[in-house]
């Protein structure tokens, strides 16, 4: 079991990597008046898309508990090789990170990107 918040780490990883994290929020422009139909949607995704309800899951956020997904994104932004070098001297062993499916690779990737982005 992990002792860190996967969703918070995933959100930060997306922000540091420059990809969008989707979150449903109440629309500030929505209003309720009896007998009046509001033309604004009640809920909006942070990307700006209107959603039907607060738990609309049509915008799935990436799942970075799988180490392969972390490496794919780091490769996409051109930092995979540097990250692999960063992991070589870490504990547990390098291969434990590679086969991880608990989010340990994600945690290390966030720490790495914090250092790189300053």
* Mean pLDDT to the nearest integer, 104-116: 94
- What is the C-alpha separation between 118 and 110, in angstroms, rounded? 12
Question: Each residue of 71-87: pLDDT tens digit?
Answer: 999 999 999 999 999 98
Instruction: Kindly report whether the global pTM for this prediction surpasses the value 0.85.
Output: no
Collapsed DSSP state (helix, strand, coil) of residue 24? strand
Predicted confidence (pLDDT) per residue in 14-49, tens digit: 999 999 888 888 778 777 777 777 777 778 888 888
Q: According to the model, what pLDDT value does residue 1 have?
A: 44
**3-class DSSP state for residue 81?**
helix
């Amino acid at each position: 079991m992990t002792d860190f918040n996967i969703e918070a780490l995933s959100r930060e990883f997306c922000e540091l990597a420059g990809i969008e994290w989707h979150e449903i929020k109440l629309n500030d422009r929505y209003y309720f008046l009896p007998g009046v139909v509001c033309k604004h949607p009640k809920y909006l995704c942070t990307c700006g898309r209107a959603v039907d309800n607060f738990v609309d899951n049509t915008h799935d956020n990436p799942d970075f508990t799988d180490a392969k997904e972390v490496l794919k994104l780091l490769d996409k932004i051109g930092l995979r090789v540097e990250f692999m070098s960063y992991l070589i001297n870490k504990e547990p062993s390098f291969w434990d990170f590679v086969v991880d499916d608990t989010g340990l690779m994600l945690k290390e990737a966030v720490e790495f990107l914090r250092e790189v982005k300053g």
